[in-house]
């Protein structure tokens, strides 16, 4: 990893002048054959890969209206050019959403459109070549699939769909990304991203029970594989051990405990994350999700609740019904699936939780909207519930809350810089630079309102900020779970 400079924060966010190839050197480690084969991909670059890639592109286009419409419709208006956090942080023009799309679109045009077949130079069509593949590998791993550009596109063109397709094509010719593919393999064989087997998970949960007992005196349980529980909790495995994620898990457990809801984790489906989304492969996407259906049926639960994880909530909210539904085996009086924030918010509104805001009086809190929650899903029953509900929970748990600048939150939120399968040390330069727009907005509320705590509901955001906050001269402890705040504020009665 070459040395790099952390971008300087100015008074406001500046749209940079383009610097060609500024990030051409950024590439994640390539998956080894053993990482590839477990997912059904060739171990290394196949012979005649150019032809295989072009054929795969045609197949994907014929299977996805989104891809077809998005590849045809762009008019190069430029509206998206200043919307990507990676462009704003790196100045590399290939990180402008339209230019990133064009890496794939140029090949689509060459092989699948009249104009590209006959007038390639005129319309910017390119042959599939090693140079193109290198560009794909570099720049489709500089997209966190956060969908911010799509919000601002007059045709709703979603670069995430295009980068997912590109990664799927690369996997199909034997060029995979180590980080995502190794992790997906662990879910297939063990059941979670960490490769944490059932007994180790039980040990971890026992430890948490002791910790909570010591801290509060209450017998808060962390059940595993408990048949007949009402709720199956599906949460990112980072919640089991990583800081500050684990505070969130403790918060969920306290909420269930206080509300008297029986719940369980599953050792078969001990992972909410589904990195198959990032690599755009629907076979793996379905296969990873299927474990959750199996666990829910096996344990005989009535509800499935998803913990704080951004892309997992997108997959759960938007795709589960399609991939592993219908949920006719669950209690129809609850949404399936339900977000933990929906559960907590509902209990707060019904007055079922006792919360003491003063427990968080050492904090001035802001909230980072995670991209997949904001732009890939919803909560509650009205549009925008995904923005309202977490904030209402925070307001019920803290006295001092301020939002960051409106153009950096809600549907226009900036990605943390580590989403979409990029949360790996081999991409740390990209991650630090991509965090610039968020850090800029954070800096402003730190200076104006003394914010010292940024809450989030995404495991990737939490890990990413833990890593990058120090680059911007903030303590890594500044990032925390929303349910960590709940955990602090919740009052557990002695009889409970």
Partner 1 sequence: MSALTVLYALLFYAAAAILVGGVAYKSWVYARTPQPLKIPIPPAPTTRRGVALRMLTEITLFRSLFRSNKWIWLFGWVFHVALLAVLLRHLRYFTEPVWAWVTLIQPFGVYAGFAMVAGLAGLWARRMFVDRVRYISSPSDHLMLALLVAIAASGLAMKYLVHTDIVALKAFFLGLMVLDWQELPADPLLLVHLALVAALMIVFPLSKLLHAPGVFFSPSLNQADDARERRHAAGWSASIGHAGRARGG
Please report whether residue 278 would count as binding partner 1 according to CB under 8 A.
no
Q: How far is the CB of 168 from partner 1 (least distance, A)?
A: 12
Q: How many CB atoms lie within 10 A of CB 147?
A: 23
Per CB under 8 A, the segment of 81-89, 132-140, 188-196, 346-354 that binds partner 1 is 81-89
The pair of three-digit structure tokens given for residue 26, joined into one six-digit string = 């950024």
Q: Which is nearer to partner 1, 105 or 254 (CB)?
A: 105
Q: Compose the 397-416 pattern: x for residues touching partner 1 by CB under 8 A, - for all others.
A: --------------x-----
Q: Cβ distance 298 to 226 under 8 Å?
A: no
Please report whether residue 336 would count as binding partner 1 according to CB under 8 A.
yes
Per CB under 8 A, the segment of 193-201, 266-274, 380-388, 431-439 that binds partner 1 is 380-388
Please report whether residue 82 would count as binding partner 1 according to CB under 8 A.
yes
Q: Binders of partner 1 among 213-272, rule CB under 8 A?
A: none
Half-sphere exposure of 57 (CA within 13 A, CB side): 25
- Single residue of 69, 259, 359, 492 touching partner 1 by CB under 8 A: 69
Q: Which is nearer to partner 1, 74 or 364 (CB)?
A: 74
Q: Binders of partner 1 among 3-62, rule CB under 8 A?
A: 15, 17-18, 61-62
- Single residue of 77, 215, 402, 476 touching partner 1 by CB under 8 A: 77
Q: Which is nearer to partner 1, 91 or 488 (CB)?
A: 91
Secondary structure (3-state) at 305: strand
Q: How far is the CB of 317 from partner 1 (least distance, A)?
A: 6
Count of residues that bind partner 1 according to CB under 8 A: 76
Q: Binders of partner 1 among 447-486, rule CB under 8 A?
A: none
264 φ, ψ to 5°?
Answer: -155, 155
Q: Which is nearer to partner 1, 256 or 320 (CB)?
A: 320
Say how far apart CA 276 and CA 287 lie, in whole Å: 9
35 φ, ψ to 5°?
Answer: -70, -35
- Single residue of 72, 243, 392, 403 touching partner 1 by CB under 8 A: 72
Say how far apart CA 115 and CA 113 lie, in whole Å: 6
- Single residue of 129, 321, 354, 358 touching partner 1 by CB under 8 A: 321
Q: How many CB atoms lie within 10 A of CB 114?
A: 9
Using CA atoms, how far residue 139 sits from 1, 55, 86, 100, 274, in Å, is 17, 21, 10, 7, 22
- Single residue of 38, 195, 198, 335 touching partner 1 by CB under 8 A: 335
Q: How far is the CB of 72 from partner 1 (least distance, A)?
A: 5
Q: How far is the CB of 330 from partner 1 (least distance, A)?
A: 10
Q: Binders of partner 1 among 122-141, rule CB under 8 A?
A: 122-124
DSSP state of 309: -
Q: How far is the CB of 132 from partner 1 (least distance, A)?
A: 16
Secondary structure (3-state) at 479: strand
Q: Binders of partner 1 among 433-452, rule CB under 8 A?
A: none
Q: How many CB atoms lie within 10 A of CB 188?
A: 16
Q: Cβ distance 140 to 103 under 8 Å?
A: yes
Write b or e for each residue in 354-388: b if 16 or more Cβ atoms lie within 10 A of its Cβ, otherwise e.
Answer: ebebebbeebbbbbbbbbbbbbbbbbbeeeebbbe
Say how far apart CA 231 and CA 228 lie, in whole Å: 9
Radius of gyration for the alpha carbons in the chain, expressed in angstroms and rounded: 22
Per CB under 8 A, the segment of 64-72, 214-222, 424-432, 446-454 that binds partner 1 is 64-72
- Single residue of 156, 195, 198, 470 touching partner 1 by CB under 8 A: 156
Q: How many CB atoms lie within 10 A of CB 220?
A: 22
Q: How far is the CB of 81 from partner 1 (least distance, A)?
A: 4
Say how far apart CA 269 and CA 291 lie, in whole Å: 5
Q: How far is the CB of 485 from partner 1 (least distance, A)?
A: 25
305 φ, ψ to 5°?
Answer: -120, 135
Per CB under 8 A, the segment of 44-52, 91-99, 390-398, 451-459 that binds partner 1 is 91-99
Q: How far is the CB of 110 from partner 1 (least distance, A)?
A: 13
Q: Binders of partner 1 among 105-124, rule CB under 8 A?
A: 113-115, 119, 121-124
- Single residue of 52, 98, 233, 436 touching partner 1 by CB under 8 A: 98
- Single residue of 37, 262, 286, 496 touching partner 1 by CB under 8 A: 286
H or E stretch including 192? Answer: none
Among 494, 492, 493, 495, which residue's Cα sits nearest to residue 250?
492
Say how far apart CA 192 and CA 183 lie, in whole Å: 8
């Amino acid at each position: 990893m070459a040395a790099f400079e952390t971008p300087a924060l100015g008074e406001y966010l500046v749209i940079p002048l383009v610097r060609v190839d500024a990030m051409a050197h950024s590439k994640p480690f390539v998956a080894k054959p053993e990482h590839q084969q477990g997912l059904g991909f060739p171990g290394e670059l196949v012979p005649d890969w150019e032809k295989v890639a072009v054929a795969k592109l045609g197949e994907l286009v014929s299977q996805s209206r989104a891809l077809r419409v998005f590849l045809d419709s762009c008019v190069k208006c430029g509206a998206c050019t200043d919307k990507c956090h990676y462009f704003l942080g790196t100045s590399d023009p290939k990180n402008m959403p339209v230019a990133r799309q064009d890496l794939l679109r140029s090949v689509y045009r060459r092989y699948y459109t009249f104009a590209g077949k006959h007038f390639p130079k005129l319309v910017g069509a390119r042959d599939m070549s090693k140079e193109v593949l290198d560009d794909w590998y570099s720049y489709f791993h500089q997209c966190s699939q956060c969908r911010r550009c799509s919000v601002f596109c007059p045709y709703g063109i979603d670069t995430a769909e295009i980068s997912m397709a590109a990664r799927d094509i690369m996997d199909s010719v034997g060029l995979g990304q180590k980080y995502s593919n190794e992790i997906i393999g662990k879910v297939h064989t063990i059941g979670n991203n960490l490769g944490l087997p059932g007994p180790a998970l039980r040990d971890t949960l026992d430890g948490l029970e002791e910790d909570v007992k010591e801290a509060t005196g209450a017998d808060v349980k962390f059940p595993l594989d408990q048949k007949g529980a009402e709720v199956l909790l599906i949460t990112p495995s980072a919640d089991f051990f990583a800081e500050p994620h684990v505070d969130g898990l403790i918060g969920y457990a306290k909420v269930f405990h206080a509300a008297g809801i029986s719940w369980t984790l599953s050792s078969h489906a001990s992972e909410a994350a589904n990195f198959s989304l990032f690599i755009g492969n629907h076979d793996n996407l379905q296969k990873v999700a299927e474990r959750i259906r199996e666990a829910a049926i096996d344990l005989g639960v009535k509800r499935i609740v998803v913990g704080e994880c951004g892309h997992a909530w997108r997959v759960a909210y938007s795709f589960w019904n399609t991939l592993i539904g219908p949920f006719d085996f669950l209690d129809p009086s609850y949404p399936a699936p339900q977000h933990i924030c929906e559960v907590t918010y509902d209990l707060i509104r019904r007055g079922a939780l006792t919360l003491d805001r003063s427990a968080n009086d050492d904090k001035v809190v802001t909230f980072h909207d995670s991209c997949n929650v904001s732009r890939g899903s919803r909560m509650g029953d009205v549009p925008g519930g995904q923005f309202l509900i977490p904030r209402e929970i925070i307001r019920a748990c803290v006295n001092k809350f301020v939002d960051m600048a409106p153009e950096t939150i809600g549907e226009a939120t900036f990605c943390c810089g580590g989403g979409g399968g990029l949360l790996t040390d081999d991409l740390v330069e990209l991650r630090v630079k991509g965090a610039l727009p968020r850090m800029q907005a954070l800096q402003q509320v730190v200076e104006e309102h003394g914010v010292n705590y940024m809450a989030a509901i995404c495991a990737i955001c939490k890990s990413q900020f833990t890593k990058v906050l120090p680059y911007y001269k903030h303590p890594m402890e500044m990032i925390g779970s929303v349910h960590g705040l709940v955990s602090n504020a919740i009052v557990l009665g002695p009889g409970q």
